[in-house]
Amino acid sequence: GNSVTQMEGPVTLSEEAFLTINCTYTATGYPSLFWYVQYPGEGLQLLLKATKADDKGSNKGFEATYRKETTSFHLEKGSVQVSDSAVYFCAFIYGGSQGNLIFGKGTKLSVKP
Amino acid sequence: GAVVSQHPSWVICKSGTSVKIECRSLDFQATTMFWYRQFPKQSLMLMATSNEGSKATYEQGVEKDKFLINHASLTLSTLTVTSAHPEDSSFYICSATGGYYGYTFGSGTRLTVV
């Protein structure tokens, strides 16, 4: 069935370190892919998205490329900051742009000064 | 851009009482609203999907009599937790879609039942 698998956390990095959070999906058709971020005590915010193969979503220094051949959408950032500490969720939509949103389990990132 | 306002952001209630959580789309018409529940250190669990003017569709295992959802207008959906108990304590998040806008999430409501 449709599902998202993302690397388990928590991930702890030092400031300015390189970040990768892996995400792979299982879906029929051509889903749109998303990364959401949840800061402590808050709801979800859309971080970036990609709607077709080879698209690269980017925002706030984060990037992810829609890799259809590997069904992946790994999140990367070249130099993390303490303010990036949050939980990151990989997700995809099937059934059109307003269809069902399927979430991964989330990866908690802690960035130490 | 699209904004969804969720209120209250936190609430503490006594066991046995009911609590209402509101979710409003501020600048777009939300034809569909979703309610999620998030347990500590876990992902979001979809509870129900509601379309304006019709009954909500609940996910398997979610008690519809306990979690009452009303989507009476294109800008407002409410979730009422009836006869709340400590096990209902959780973080509840709404989301709305409509028109050109994909999923837009509210800021969440932390419910604590004592």
Q: What is the mean pLDDT of residues A16-25?
A: 97
Whole-number pLDDT of residue A111: 97
Contact A44 B42 (CB under 8 A): no
Closest-CA residue to A45 (of B62, B51, B105): B105
- The pair of three-digit structure tokens given for residue B1, joined into one six-digit string: 């851009």
Give residue A43's pLDDT band: very low, low, confident or very high (50, 70, 90). confident
List chain B residues with CB under 8 Å of A103: 43-44
Closest-CA residue to B32 (of B18, B46, B15): B46
Show the CA angle centred on residue A105, arms to residues A102 and A108, nearest 5°: 135
Whole-number pLDDT of residue B54: 84
Please indicate whether residue B55 or residue A107 has the higher confidence score (pLDDT).
A107
Single-letter amino acid code for the residue at A1: G
Of A32, A46, A89, nearest to B43 by CB-CB distance is: A89
Question: What are the Cα distances from residue A26, in Å, to A78, B9, B109?
Answer: 27, 34, 31
Whole-number pLDDT of residue A96: 64
Give the contacts of A77 (CB within 8 A, at least 6 positions apart): A18, A19, A61, A62, A63, A84
Q: Does B106 touch chain A (CB under 8 A)?
A: yes
Nearest-angstrom CA–CA distance, A30 and A33:
9
Q: What is the mean pLDDT of residues A58-69?
A: 96
Residue in chain B closest to A47 (alpha carbons) equals B104
Residues of chain B with pLDDT under 50: none
Whole-number pLDDT of residue A28: 80
User: In the beta sheet, which residues pair with residue B6?
Assistant: B23
Q: What is the mean pLDDT of residues A77-84?
A: 97
Give the contacts of B18 (CB within 8 A, at least 6 positions apart): B80, B81, B82, B83, B84
Show the CA angle centred on residue A93, arms to residues A51 and A88, nearest 5°: 85
Whole-number pLDDT of residue A87: 94
Residue B103 region by backbone torsions, left for phi larger than 0, else alpha for psi between -120 and 50, else beta: beta
Whole-number pLDDT of residue B94: 94
Whole-number pLDDT of residue A95: 65
- To the nearest whole number, what is the mean pLDDT of chain A? 91
Single-letter amino acid code for the residue at B85: H
In angstroms, the first-to-last Cα distance of chain B is 38
